[in-house]
Structure 1
Amino acid sequence: MPDLFHRYQLGDLMLPNRVVMAPMSRVRAAVGGLATPSMATHYAQRATAGLIVTEGVQPSLIGQSNPGTPGLHTDEQVAAWQQVTDAVHTNGGRIFAQIMHGGRVSHPETTGLQPIGPSAVPGVGDVFTPTGPKPMQTPRALATAEVPEHAQAYAQAARRAVDAGFDGVELHGANGYLISQFLSSNANLRTDRYGGSVTNRIRFAVEAVSATVQAIGGARTGIRLSPGGPFWGVEETEVHALYTELLTELSGLGLAYVHLEATTDEEVLVALRHAWPGTLIMNPGFPMGPKQTDRADADHWLGKGADLISFGRAFLANPDLVERLRTGLPMAPVDTDTYYQGGDAGYLTYSAYQHAA
C-alpha cells in the first residue's frame, strides 16, 4: 500500500506527498471577484500539501454562485490571482484552480442575472445573497444551442488560470452545481441530446472537460465528482451506471485526475476506482458531515486503491496539516462561525503547532 507521505508524479508535477488540500468556499474575495493579499497568505501557509485545490472560482458572471467569491473571467481577476500563485510557488507548493459554475445555485441579487440551468427546476434550500440567505429562484432553462457556450466557459477560465500561474484546474462537477445538475435525473428534465438517458446526461460534463483539455492539456485538467450526492436538491438515478459511463468517456482524455467525494456506498466508490484507469483523489469525508478526515481514513482509502487523499476542514485550522499527520500531532479545532464571515479571523489566524518549551 502506498504511504501518505510518499512522492507522487501527477502529470508534469512531482508531488512531495499524497495529501491534497480540498477546495473549500471561503468568500474572502474583493469587489469584482478579485483575489487578495490575504488569500495569497492563506494558500501559501498551506503550501506543504502535495497539491492545493482552491475554492470554487466562477468562469463567468452568470456562473457566480455566492457573493464574495473570486472569478477567472476578466483580465483584472487574472492579475489578482498572480499574487496567490506566486506566493504558493515561492513556498514550494503546487496549486490548481477549481472552476465552479453555479448554474441554478445562484441569485439575481448576487449577479444581476437570472440563474440558468438544464431545466426550469429550482434548487432546494437558501443560497447566500448580498442581503442574506434567500430561497433559490427558478432558473431559466438553457436552449440546446446555448449549452456549448457554458461548456466552453470552463475552458476559457482554464486558459486564464494558466495565465495567472496556476499549475492546472479542477472542474467542479460535484455538489449540485451546473455539471452536477446536468448529471441529475431531477434537475435535468431535458428531452434533447443533453437529457434523459445516462449517455445524454453525461454529455455536458464530457464536453466541458474535453474543451478544457483542448485549451490547456489533459495533464493540467482534473474533475471533482460526488456520485449520488444529495446537494441543493439534486437526485441521481442509476448512480453506478452513470458514473461508470462518465469515467469511461473521460478515460481517453489523459486527465491529471478524477477527484471523488464519499457520497455513496463504498462498494460503488471502489467499483468506480476500478473503472477509472488514471490518478484518483479520494475525499473520504462526506461534505460538511460530522466527521473530519483523519490519518486512518486516508490509509483506508489508499488501501482501497486511491492515489491521493484530500482533506477539507482539517486544513482550515491546521496550516501545517501535513506535519501533524506525519508526526501524529493533535489537530486544532476549526471555528465554524468564521467560515463565511469575511476578514482574516479564522482565515489567517490559525498557526502551526506550538511545541512546549
Structure 2
Amino acid sequence: MTHNILFEPYQLNQNMTLKNRIVMAPMNRSMADDNFIPTSAMADYYARRADTGLIITESLMISTTAQGYPNTPAIYSPEQVEGWKAVTEKVHRNGGKIFAQIWHTGRVSHPIYLNGEKPLAPSAVPLKGRVPRTADLQYETPRAMTSEEIKKIISDFTHAAANAKKAGFDGVEIHAANGYLLDQFLHWDTNRRTDQWGGTPENMSRILFEVIRKVKKEIGHVGVRLSPTAYLHLDHDERDIQVSDYVLKHLNEYGLAYVHTGMFEDNYQPHLNATVTQYIKRLYKGTVIACGGYSAETGGKALIDGDADLVAIGRPLIANPDYVIKVRQQLPLVSYDVEMLNQLF
C-alpha cells in the first residue's frame, strides 16, 4: 500500500525527528475568545490530533493590525502566550509536536477589525469582493505601508516568534502564502512599489528574508509556507514566476525546517510545468511539505515519487481526530462536512 510510507519516522533536522510523515495542516477555525486567547476546547482539539508527526496551528495574529477575520487567535500579548501554553502542554503530553503559524492578513481585512483604520498593504490596491462572515461588507482600498511600518511588521513577526518559544511551541511557520501580507509583497498584482521593497524579485522578497533572519534568532525551528501561483486573494501575473524562482533558490541558504505548499488543491500548473509542490521541490532542496487535497493514498504516492518529504492533511483531520489510527488500520474515514466547522471535536 502506498500509504505505508506515511508511518515512517522522518528526521526533520539533527534536533527533531517526527514519528510519522503526516502533518496536520493549518486551518483557521475562528474560535478564540474575544481577547484572541485560545480556549480549553482549542487545547483539546489540537491534543486529540497529536498522533500526527507534526501539528501546524491555525494562523496566529502577530499584532493588533493583523486581523482579518473574527475571533482568530493571536500571540502578541502575555495573556495569549499563557493560553497557548495550555495548548502546547496538552499536545506534548500526548506525544505530539506543534508549530505555531504566524501571520498578518494585510489587505485581506476591513476597518471593522482595525478600530476604523485602513488595512496595511504593500500598495494601495483594493481586494474585490465581500468580507467573509459579514452580511454585505465589501473590501476597501488598503493603505500603502511606509518603510518604517514595514520594519515594524518585521519586528512584530520577531516578537511573535519569541512569544511562541515562551508558549512552548516546537517551532514556527511563517505564513507567506494565500494572498496574505507577506505573499502580497511577492506578487506584482499587489506590490507596485518602486522603493527597496518592490520592483525586482530581490526587493519584493526582502521583507520575507528579513522576517526569516530575525525569527530564526528567536526560535530554532522555522518553516515557511508559500503560494508561488497567485490563486487566492491575488490576480496572476506572468512575472510572478521570476519572484518565486528567486525566493525558492535563496531559501536554500537559510537552514529552514521546511517549505510548505500553500494550496487548497495541489494541481498541475501549466506555467510551472508541474504541480505547485513539484515546482517547489525542484528548486528548494530541503524538506518540502505537500499540501492541497491529498488523501493517504495520493500523499503516500507523492512521498514515494520524491515529490515531497511530508504530506499535510486538512479537512479529513477535522472530521477524524483519530485519522492516523484509522489510516494505519485501514478503517473507514468519516466524510468531511462543512457543518463540522461550527464546533471543535
Q: Is the 8 A contact 1:284 1:297 kept in 2?
A: no
Q: Equivalences for 1:257-268 in 2 at 5 Å?
A: 257-261=258-262, 262=266, 265=269, 266=274
Out of 267, 280, 286, which is 1:272 matched to? 280
Out of 109, 113, 120, which is 1:116 matched to? 120
Whole-Å Cα distance in 2 between the matches of residues 311 and 223 of structure 1?
A: 17
Give the 3-state SS of the residue equivalent to 1:216 in structure 2.
coil
Gaps of 5+ in 2: none
1:210 alignment counterpart: 213
Change (3 A) 1:14 1:152: same
2:257 alignment counterpart: 256
Is 1:148 aligned with 2:148? Answer: no
Give the 3-state SS of the residue equivalent to 2:7 in structure 1.
coil
Q: Is the 8 A contact 1:27 1:67 kept in 2?
A: yes
Is 1:46 aligned with 2:49? Answer: yes
Following superposition, the deviation at residue 305 of structure 1 comes to 3.1
Query: Following TM superposition, where does structure 1 have runs of at least 4 consecutive aligned residues deviating by more than 4 angstroms?
Result: none
Following superposition, the deviation at residue 120 of structure 1 comes to 0.5
1:25 alignment counterpart: 28
Q: Equivalences for 1:26-175 in 2 at 5 Å?
A: 26-112=29-115, 113-128=117-132, 132=135, 134-175=137-178
1:351 alignment counterpart: none
Give me the identity figure in percent: 40
Whole-Å Cα distance in 2 between the matches of residues 39 and 312 of structure 1?
A: 16
Q: Is the 8 A contact 2:182 2:208 kept in 1?
A: yes
Q: Deviations over 1:1-47 (max 9, x none)?
A: 99111001123222110000000010110011001000000000100
Q: Deviations over 1:177-220 (max 9, x none)?
A: 00110011111111111112222211111111121112223xx1
Across the aligned residues of Structure 1 and Structure 2, the Cα RMSD in angstroms comes to 1.8
| One-letter identity of the residue aligned with 1:301 | A
2:290 alignment counterpart: 282
Whole-Å Cα distance in 1 between the matches of residues 235 and 155 of structure 2?
A: 23
Give the 3-state SS of the residue equivalent to 2:225 in structure 1.
strand
Following superposition, the deviation at residue 301 of structure 1 comes to 1.5
Whole-Å Cα distance in 2 between the matches of residues 49 and 267 of structure 1?
A: 24
| One-letter identity of the residue aligned with 1:109 | I
Q: Is the 8 A contact 1:284 1:298 kept in 2?
A: no
1:179 alignment counterpart: 182
Q: Deviations over 1:66-98 (max 9, x none)?
A: 111000000010011111001101111000010
Following superposition, the deviation at residue 250 of structure 1 comes to 1.8
Q: Is the 8 A contact 2:229 2:276 kept in 1?
A: no
1:232 alignment counterpart: 233
Following superposition, the deviation at residue 322 of structure 1 comes to 1.1
Q: Is the 8 A contact 2:187 2:240 kept in 1?
A: no
Q: Is the 8 A contact 2:106 2:181 kept in 1?
A: yes
Following superposition, the deviation at residue 272 of structure 1 comes to 2.5
Whole-Å Cα distance in 1 between the matches of residues 17 and 246 of structure 2?
A: 30
Query: How many residues are paired up?
Result: 333
Gaps of 5+ in 1: 286-292, 349-357
Following superposition, the deviation at residue 154 of structure 1 comes to 1.2
TM-score (norm: length of structure 1): 0.89
Which of 274-283 and 35-44 deviates more? 274-283
Out of 9, 13, 17, which is 1:14 matched to? 17
| One-letter identity of the residue aligned with 1:169 | V
